């Protein structure tokens, strides 16, 4: 059996993290190495390696995350934020369990590096 991802270990409370939000399908945690004053990770509980690994049966997972992110940021009164998904190591992906970065509370340059 494949080794659990670091995020699955967090979801299963094997390792600690600051949990911002959780429901049956998703979790939002604080990034351990924040790149902005607010840097969260929205993660589906289903261990999908990345966007390239989504299949038809995953229909609904990413839009659920989007609604959860919108609600959480709205609850926190944060209107301006950037969502990032790194797909593949050349794009900067280091944890191969799909996640959406949520960055806020600083001015973010464009184009990203
Ligand atoms: P990626 O580079 O795959 O797009 O993003 C992975 C993110 O996970 C990085 O921003 C990294 O700081 C974060 N990360 C890696 N390990 C841990 C951990 O053990 N706990 C938390 N909270 N974040 C982690």
Q: What CATH number is associated with residue 63?
A: 3.30.428.10
Asked whether residue 112 is assigned to any structural domain, the reply reads no
Asked whether residue 33 is assigned to any structural domain, the reply reads yes
Residue 22 CA to residue 66 CA, distance in Å, equals 14
Asked whether residue 113 is assigned to any structural domain, the reply reads no
Task: Supply the residue whose CA is at minimum distance from atom 12 of ligand 1.
Answer: 33
What kind and span of H or E run contains 9? helix 6-11
Q: Which of 95, 99, 103 is the best mutation target for the ligand 1 pocket, counting ligand atoms within 8 Å of the beta carbon and taking the most?
A: 95
Asked whether residue 110 is assigned to any structural domain, the reply reads no
When divided into structural domains, the chain yields a total of: 1
Range of the domain at 39: 6-104
pTM surpassing 0.75? Answer: yes
Asked whether residue 10 is assigned to any structural domain, the reply reads yes
**Catalytic residue annotation:** 99
Q: Measured on CA atoms in the order 26, 101, 65, 28, is the torsion positive or negative?
A: positive
Residue 91 CA to residue 113 CA, distance in Å, equals 10
Summarize pLDDT for 42-92 with one digit per residue, the tens. 999 999 999 999 999 999 999 999 999 999 999 999 999 999 999 999 999
């Amino acid at each position: 059996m494949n080794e659990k991802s670091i995020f699955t270990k967090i979801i299963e409370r094997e390792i600690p993290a600051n949990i911002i939000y959780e429901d049956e399908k998703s979790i939002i945690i604080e990034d351990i190495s924040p790149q902005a004053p607010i840097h969260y990770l929205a993660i589906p509980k289903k261990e999908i390696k990345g966007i390239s690994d989504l299949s038809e049966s995953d229909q609904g997972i990413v839009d659920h995350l989007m609604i959860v992110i919108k609600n959480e940021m709205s609850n926190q009164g944060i209107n301006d934020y950037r969502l990032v998904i790194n797909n593949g190591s050349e794009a900067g992906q280091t944890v191969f369990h799909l996640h959406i970065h949520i960055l806020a509370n600083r001015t973010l340059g464009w184009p990203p590096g």
